[in-house]
Amino acid sequence: MYTFLDNFIIYLKVEKNASPRTIESYQNDIWQFIDFLVSEFKKPAQHISPRDVNHLVVRKHLGLLQRNGLKRTSVARKMASLRSFFRYLTREEVLSVNPLDHVSTPKAEKRLPEVLSQDGAWALVQAPDTGSPAGLRDRAILEVLYSSGLRVSELVGLDTGDIDMAVGYVRVMGKGAKERIVPVGSYAIKALQQYLAEGRPHLPKKDQGTPLFLNKNGGRLSARSVRNIVDKYVRQVSIRYKISPHTLRHSFATHLLDGGADLRSVQELLGHVTMSTTQIYTHISREKLLSVYEKTHPRA
């Protein structure tokens, strides 16, 4: 089985141009399934063939995951990894029939994402002390996340040449290596200009391209570092619920809709492939409307 997994990982890297994080996730999920097969069939992984797998075995694995208390969202993600793996094996004619065609994935509960109020978002992006190079960088990071709704992976992948200050846009490489152009607001442009003029020149630099946001060693800032930066300022402004860089993306979309933007435009800005992914934000806006109505109408 491991040989087929190795070939699948190469396929993800070369043909699908999947991100390292996606590849790691798929690999871990499929490893877990192979460990289950070893236990189920009582033989080493190298003696197990994809042809040994049928829909009953997959369902048994699914049931074990659920009995172990895994959240439905996590089970659904693991099943998605297996579906991709067995779809690949079918396409490569290792299998004539995909055993997962007869397995349904448990529906994940729909959870609305956390969203900052407009005042909360303003407080957060203005929290960094711009008296230091790191503070100027952090202010620019927060402003861009809220102004443009970028994924954290898109943010850390930016180079200095990806920003057009005069026109006010940023060129980002999204999921599936799809490039898109996203507007950048005036506050974010001002923060970027100040960071590039007064902050970035005073941070260490390595000769590794031209990453926009540098870490303390002069290399490209990582996604984990951005999460730590957000955590730092969340604590500083005393926000009492969990906030991540993605919360600023959720807030960006919700505040656009609250301001009258149409769903199709928000879909384009976020880089969503399907409208259904974007529609969750309409539920958030409706909940807000209902809350305002109940609080303000005398006969609500």
The DSSP H or E segment spanning 179 is strand 179-183
Instruction: Establish whether 47 is a catalytic residue.
Output: no
Instruction: Establish whether 171 is a catalytic residue.
Output: no
Phi-psi region of 42 (alpha: psi -120 to 50; beta: other; left: phi over 0): left
- Determine the Cα–Cα distance for residues 136 and 198; give it in Å rounded to an integer: 8
CB 213 within 8 A of CB 141: yes
User: Choosing from 137, 139, 151, 200, which is the catalytic residue?
Assistant: 151
Cβ neighbours of residue 75 under 8 Å, at least 6 residues apart?
A: 62, 65, 66, 105, 106
Only one residue has tokens 């579906």, namely 83
- Determine the Cα–Cα distance for residues 100 and 234; give it in Å rounded to an integer: 43
- Determine the Cα–Cα distance for residues 6 and 156; give it in Å rounded to an integer: 28
- Determine the Cα–Cα distance for residues 266 and 250; give it in Å rounded to an integer: 11
Instruction: Establish whether 151 is a catalytic residue.
Output: yes
User: Choosing from 26, 146, 195, 281, which is the catalytic residue?
Assistant: 281
User: Choosing from 72, 171, 175, 227, which is the catalytic residue?
Assistant: 175
Q: How far is CA 286 from CA 257, 279, 290, 296, 300, in A?
A: 10, 11, 6, 15, 16
Q: Which amino acid is at 158?
A: L
Encoded tokens for 5:
């997994």
CB 229 within 8 A of CB 137: no
Instruction: Establish whether 281 is a catalytic residue.
Output: yes
Phi-psi region of 159 (alpha: psi -120 to 50; beta: other; left: phi over 0): beta
- Determine the Cα–Cα distance for residues 8 and 29; give it in Å rounded to an integer: 13
Instruction: Establish whether 272 is a catalytic residue.
Output: yes
> Listing from the earlier edge strand, what are the strands of the sheet with 163-164?
163-164, 169-173, 179-183
- Point out the residues that are catalytic: 151, 175, 246, 249, 272, 281
